[in-house]
Amino acid sequence: MDLNERKLKILHAIICDYLETAEPVGSRTISKKYNLGVSSATIRNEMSDLEELGFIIQPHTSAGRIPSDKGYRLYVEQLMEYPVVEMYQIQLVKQIIVEKIDKIESMLQEINKLLSMITNYTTLISSPRLHKTKLKHMQLIPLDERSIILVTVTDGNIVRNHILNITTPIPSQTLLRLSNMLNQRLQGLTLEQINLPLIQSLKQQMGSHGLLLNDVLDVIAETIQFVDEPEIYMSGAINILDFPEFNDVLKAKNLFHALEEKDLLVTILSPKPFKQQEQNIQITIGNENIAEEMKDCSVVTTNYRIGDQTVGTIGVLGPTRMDYGRVVSTLSHLVEYMDHIIKDLMDG
């Protein structure tokens, strides 16, 4: 059943009031605060209909009503408003990226902390799944007679240096020629694209230095291959305790235990089909969560990119009484500016 305009306005008012106060909302409160142009009795009747339809529920000890998961779902899909992100937040993001661009995982952890500070919720971010990342550049540099340095650069300007041991000295000019050949054949490829025929062809090209290719490929794999399960960085877990929904010690304890389960967090931060396509945002509300301990929580996630590859996910976790509009707006702008700034730095 589609709700008429009056019911939608009343549901919107109930949710807005509950987001602000964390107190059950009565018809008199709606009548006094929201100037909907109808009497308290009419609002009460409409609230009765909304309850019957499952959009609001009555807590055991209150005469007021609070939104249900179904009510929140309708809110985020039809009624939610998006506040403007403040410019200082954008500048902070830019500062972190510029300072940490050569240390991607450190950059992401700092952004995670900033996001937690801005939203006052718990934030999660998965480290890059670098097996999707392309090899951008490599160079072989002589170190001494028995060792050389292999410099690799991947998307996002992630630079890694590795020392390779060699049995016989290799002249600088030869290393330069080998570097050029490797770049010509491997530049722009992901690890998954470096297949056996390509490796065999490279070994033939490298001639007497073909054995060196094994070490080079091991380093490339170590550099751009990532384990199937990424690291999960969390910030602001203690913020959960700021919300009255988690005044119950056992409920809070169970949630903290759930947040220690890496497999669960990896699942939460796995890319999903986006319901809010225009923002590339996924919102999971209350009972939509897979973990029983998170049934009183909502999670908002979006993916982030390095170069032209989607490599990880950022999430915000809070009570179902979350300020969804602010979180969605913040996440959308955060990732948009991350993409733009990282791309500019890479292109520059």
How confident is the prediction along the chain (348 residues), in pLDDT tens digits per residue? Answer: 678 999 999 999 999 999 999 999 999 999 999 989 899 999 999 999 999 999 999 987 778 999 999 999 999 999 999 988 888 888 888 888 778 766 777 888 899 999 999 999 999 999 877 656 678 899 999 888 889 999 988 776 677 888 988 888 888 998 998 899 889 988 888 766 777 788 888 888 888 887 787 788 777 766 665 444 578 999 999 999 999 999 999 999 999 999 999 999 988 987 655 554 455 899 999 999 999 999 999 999 999 887 666 778 999 999 999 999 999 999 998 888 888 777 776 565
Instruction: Return the pLDDT at 106.
Output: 83
Q: How many Cβ atoms sit within 10 Å of the Cβ of residue 255?
A: 22
Cite the beta strand spans of 88-204 per DSSP E: 122-126, 135-144, 147-154, 158-165
Q: How many Cβ atoms sit within 10 Å of the Cβ of residue 150?
A: 23
- The model's pTM: 0.75
Q: What is the CATH number of domain 5-79?
A: 1.10.10.10
Under 8 Å between Cβ of 347 and 330: no
Domain coordinates in residue numbering, the chain? 5-79, 87-129+230-347, 131-224
CATH topology match: 87-129+230-347 vs 131-224:
no
Return the CATH fold of 87-129+230-347: Beta-Lactamase (3.30.450)
Of 216, 101, 86, the C-alpha closest to 151 is: 216
Q: Is 348 helix (H, G, I), strand (E, B) or coil?
A: coil
**131-224 CATH pick, 3.30.390.60, 3.30.360.10, 3.20.19.10, 3.40.50.720:** 3.30.390.60
